[in-house]
């Protein structure tokens, strides 16, 4: 599942939470939590792949987002 598809499904799940009975609400909540975790894991992987180029003196230095490389 793509990030966009998971996020869209999560948004629909949240909308449906207001219109369901307690049992269905609990099931939707659990599904929402799993979708949220999935989206978060994708964002963390993408974040880890971001590399910054910082100007240093007359050249550039590579830096992984948030830590020195």
In this predicted structure, what is the pLDDT of residue 35? 94
| 27-60 pLDDT per residue, tens | 989 999 999 999 999 988 877 666 666 666 777 7
**Strand ranges for the chain from DSSP E:** 51-56, 59-64, 67-68
Residues spanned by the domain of 33: 3-68
Count of structural domains, the chain: 1
| 5-32 pLDDT per residue, tens | 999 998 988 888 877 788 888 898 999 9
Buried b (16+ CB within 10 A) or exposed e, 6-25: bbebbeebeeeeeeeeeeee
């Amino acid at each position: 599942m793509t990030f966009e598809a998971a996020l869209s499904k999560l948004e629909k799940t949240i909308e449906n939470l207001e219109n369901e009975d307690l049992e269905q609400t609990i099931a939707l909540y659990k599904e929402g939590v799993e979708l949220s975790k999935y989206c978060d894991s994708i964002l963390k992987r993408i974040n880890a792949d971001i590399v910054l180029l910082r100007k240093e003196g007359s050249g550039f230095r590579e830096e992984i987002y948030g830590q020195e490389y």
